Structure 1
Amino acid sequence: MAEFNLTFSDPSTFILTGIPGLETAHIWISIPMCVFYVITLLGNFTVLFVICKEQTLHKPMYLLLCMLALTDIGISSSVIPKALCIFWFNMKDISVDGCLTQMFFFHVVSLMDSAVLVSMAFDRYVAICNPLRYTTILTNARIVKLGLLCLMRAVVFIVPLPLLLKRLPFCANRIIPSTYCDHMAVAKMSCGDITVNKIYGLMMAFIVMGFDLSLIALSYSLIIKAVLRISSKKAHQKALNTCTAHICVILMSYPVGLFSTLTHRFGQDIAPYVHIILANLHFLIPSMMNPIIYGVKTKELREKVGKYIFRTCLSIVTAFTLS
């Protein structure tokens, strides 16, 4: 006990408790979490590998899909490995600088993920509403520049968060009831006034998310308007099918993230473990499902992935037979 008290009073260290109220179930919770994380890495790295290897997939749509895969890997990898260390090895301590770095990284990648989804909505708008100009409007070079712009936007919005936390004095109690260093969870450890932190965090969440969702809604309203002008029902279905995967990804990403943000700030009557479980699901489920959805719904990508899986299985069988 004396060792833990010393750790808690260490001015350079925070303690992440895991999921408060479910400490006895940490091992059992870690099993599906680990499985989901492995599937996330396998799925997204497979998408990246296949798109990089296949010249026919070096198109704007698939470059955006690569960006989405990278953000999915970044989001899950910024949180899940530390959570598994807490569950498996009881490694609960994290330095203040490490905590702020983790917070900065996953917030930047989360905003980047949202910006990529907006870019993909614009890609679908151009493909359906201006198909003849698609190759001139969306070139690979412009997609790369768009990706850099998304990254710059995320960094500009998130840089103030660790700076706002750095100015705060922290209390002797440095126990964070979570699996990761969220901005508000760290701010609540302070003995100082965190009003600015609350306002900026809430404004950033609603302004950025509201702006991105508005652009996505505008894109799809224009897409629906263009589709309704088409007389052929078959053409209707074909046009909408190109958007199905993106719509599914949006429905998984935004509602859970928005609900998690609201419950963390206003859900005082909700059990703490609900906040943490929702947040971890927000990091894991979309990241795991995105490559599966695009793999199933995108014919060209599905065929290329199937080809590489067949080759890999054939190589393994051949090597096993020869041995």
Structure 2
Amino acid sequence: MQETPFCLRVGYFLPYSMSDSNITYFTNPSTFILMGIPGLEWAHVWLSIPFCVMYAIAILGNFTILFVVKRELNLRAPMYYFLCMLAVSNLVLSTSLLPKMLIIFWFNSREINFSACLTQMYFIHSFSAMESGILMAMAFDRYVAICHPLRHSTILTNPVVAKIGLAVVLRGGMLGLPCAFLARRWPYCKTNIIPDTYCTHIAVVKLACTDTRISSYYGLFVLFCVIGLDMFFVALSYMQILRAIFSLPTKDARLKTLVTCSSHLFSILAFYIPAVFSSLMYRSGQNVALHFRVLVGNLNLLVPPMLNPIIYGVRTKQIQDRLLRLFIHKDI
């Protein structure tokens, strides 16, 4: 048995091994076979119902956020620019995953072209990294707004916001490229079956019949750059924010200031808690049922795009007011 080290899957790793005996090598297989949720094939149609509901909420909610921010001139501020970026990232991420999943669940059409598989892998990994970067940028915006309120407009000018957004997008796009590049260059064994609903870097490279240690090293690098650094800077920002909040003179002032951060805090928890949980689960993968790991992996990518527009719609008064005005005008 050749033990192959770890590989990347949106910030977490999974050890795997593959036999070297009786291997037929080929490069760039024409198709892969996505199994869906192994062991729960009988429930695919039923599982598609909650996934469809989550996808519909994500699409409707994130498009609503984009529409409201575009129409409301009062929302032309750094926080809402970053919120629009988050909405776009959520739309791309959920759309990269759901349509093929539903085709598998409804029509049992499990084949995916090799190039389409690598494209899906690239979009999922890249936009997951972008979402993490956007949350970090939003944490910096909250830090400046609370700790340096008089300098907020001079620190976070439109050019600065544009540069931060461009850096987040470029980082995510560049970090995702080697995943697809490495997966394309490996020779593969005769099996092309992926026990998942979508193409992950782990699942694809697991089928390679060569030493893939470079994927392990690159995975550690991406884990540090995305989850590690982003969580560190988010935590650092909120340590300073909490310090500033608890130094305010009155309880009402502290509560009011804390409420302004609540939406972003909920988004951070909705993104990082499932990601960390999935990481721990995949690290101890031998003790967790395969269908449970696949389900959690899918929810890890679907829950944040569904929750973010709900969180910001409920917790942001300006967005609520704009939506109410739209409905009132329609009723009149």
Same fold? TM cut 0.5: yes
1:246 aligns with 2:240: no
Deviations for 1:141-174, whole angstroms, at most 9, x for unmatched residues? Answer: 3212211110111122221111111221111110
Aligned to 2:73: 55
Aligned to 1:119: 137
Cα displacement (A) at 1:106: 1.1
Q: 2:191 aligns with which of 165, 173, 178?
A: 173
Q: 1:295 aligns with which of 288, 293, 313?
A: 313
Aligned to 1:67: 85
For residues 131-170 of structure 1, the aligned pairs below 5 Å read 131-170=149-188
Question: In percent, how many aligned pairs have the same letter?
Answer: 47
Specify every segment of 5 or more residues in structure 1 that has no aligned partner in the other structure, as ranges: 1-8, 316-323
Aligned to 1:269: 287
Deviations for 1:264-285, whole angstroms, at most 9, x for unmatched residues? Answer: 3441221111111111111111
Report which stretch shifted further, 158-167 or 172-181.
158-167
TM-score of the pair, normalised by structure 1:
0.91
TM-score of the pair, normalised by structure 2:
0.89
1:29 aligns with 2:47: yes
Contact preservation (8 Å) 2:28, 2:114: no
SS at 2:32's partner residue? strand
Q: Whole-Å Cα distance in 1 between the matches of residues 168 and 28 of structure 2?
A: 38
Q: What is the alpha-carbon root mean square deviation over aligned residues?
A: 1.6
Report which stretch shifted further, 213-222 or 142-151.
142-151
SS at 1:268's partner residue? helix
SS at 1:14's partner residue? strand
Report which stretch shifted further, 133-142 or 21-30.
133-142
Contact preservation (8 Å) 1:63, 1:140: no
Aligned to 1:82: 100
Cα displacement (A) at 1:20: 0.4
Q: How many residue pairs are counted as aligned between the two chains?
A: 306
Q: Whole-Å Cα distance in 1 between the matches of residues 283 and 220 of structure 2?
A: 9
Specify every segment of 5 or more residues in structure 2 that has no aligned partner in the other structure, as ranges: 1-26
Contact preservation (8 Å) 1:184, 1:197: no
Question: Which amino acid is 1:218 matched to?
Answer: L
Aligned to 2:23: none
Higher relative contact order (CA 8 A, sep 6+): 2
1:197 aligns with 2:197: no
1:214 aligns with 2:214: no
Change in 2 beyond 3 A, CA 1:311/1:261: farther
Contact preservation (8 Å) 2:263, 2:311: yes
Aligned to 2:9: none
Q: Whole-Å Cα distance in 2 between the matches of residues 271 and 289 of structure 1?
A: 26
Q: 1:284 aligns with which of 286, 292, 302?
A: 302
Contact preservation (8 Å) 2:28, 2:184: no
Contact preservation (8 Å) 1:184, 1:198: no
Cα displacement (A) at 1:258: 2.1
More helix by share: 1
Deviations for 1:33-70, whole angstroms, at most 9, x for unmatched residues? Answer: 00110011000000100110111111111111101111
Contact preservation (8 Å) 1:103, 1:183: yes
Contact preservation (8 Å) 2:143, 2:238: yes
Q: Whole-Å Cα distance in 1 between the matches of residues 145 and 31 of structure 2?
A: 51
SS at 1:159's partner residue? helix
Q: 1:233 aligns with which of 234, 239, 251?
A: 251
Aligned to 1:318: none
| Moved beyond 6 Å, runs of 4+ | none
Question: Which amino acid is 1:70 matched to?
Answer: V
Q: Whole-Å Cα distance in 1 between the matches of residues 293 and 92 of structure 2?
A: 21
Question: Which amino acid is 2:98 matched to?
Answer: I
Report which stretch shifted further, 204-213 or 283-292.
204-213
Change in 2 beyond 3 A, CA 1:284/1:311: farther
Q: Whole-Å Cα distance in 1 between the matches of residues 283 and 197 of structure 2?
A: 17
For residues 6-25 of structure 1, the aligned pairs below 5 Å read 11-25=29-43
Q: 2:116 aligns with which of 95, 98, 116?
A: 98
Contact preservation (8 Å) 2:28, 2:188: no
Aligned to 1:224: 242
Cα displacement (A) at 1:140: 2.5
Q: Whole-Å Cα distance in 2 between the matches of residues 206 and 273 of structure 1?
A: 28
Contact preservation (8 Å) 2:28, 2:187: no
Cα displacement (A) at 1:110: 0.5
Contact preservation (8 Å) 2:191, 2:207: yes
Aligned to 2:278: 260
